[in-house]
Amino acid sequence: MLIKALRIGLGQIIIFIDFITRPRKLKRSAEAQAQVEREAAGLALYQFHACPFCVKTRRNLHRLNVPVALRDAKNDATHRQELLEQGGKIQVPCLRIEEQGGSRWLYESKAISAYLNERFAAQ
C-alpha cells in the first residue's frame, strides 16, 4: 500500500515537472505543418500517463509539434488488449505506425524518438 502511494506520488511529480519544463514546439509553415499532420494521422502512441519513458516520448512529440493519438494502455482495457494482441507485448511506450496497409509496432523510447526525429525534425 505504501509503495503504491509512493509510486502514484512520484508519477504526479513527474507529470508536474514535465508540465512546467515542456519544450517549445517546432515552428513550421502552415503547409509544412499540414503535411506533418497528414503523416501523423497513421501514428498512435500506447502509453501510461505517468511512466517516465512515456513522458520522455510525449515531450519529443510536443517539441517536434507532431499530433499523435495517445492510447492509455493502463486504464483502457481495449487499448491494452490491442497492444498485447497486435503489438505482441504490454510494454510502453509503443508507437503503432500504420503504413502501406499494415501496422508496425515500435517499442523503446529511444527508438521511437529516433524514428520521430528522422521523420519529422527536418520538415
- Of residues 91 and 99, the one with the higher pLDDT is 91
Angle between helix 52-64 and 109-120 (nearest 10)? 0
Q: Which CATH architecture has domain 2-24+32-120?
A: 3-Layer(aba) Sandwich (3.40)
Domain boundaries, the chain: 2-24+32-120
| 17-31 per-position pLDDT tens digit | 888 998 999 999 999
| 25-77 per-position pLDDT tens digit | 999 999 999 999 999 999 999 999 989 999 999 999 999 999 999 999 999 99
pLDDT band (50, 70, 90) for residue 123: low
Residue 84 DSSP SS3: helix
pLDDT at 122: 72
Write the DSSP assignment of 52-97 as a string of letters.
HHHHHHHHHHHHHT---EEEETTT-HHHHHHIIIIISS--SSEEEE
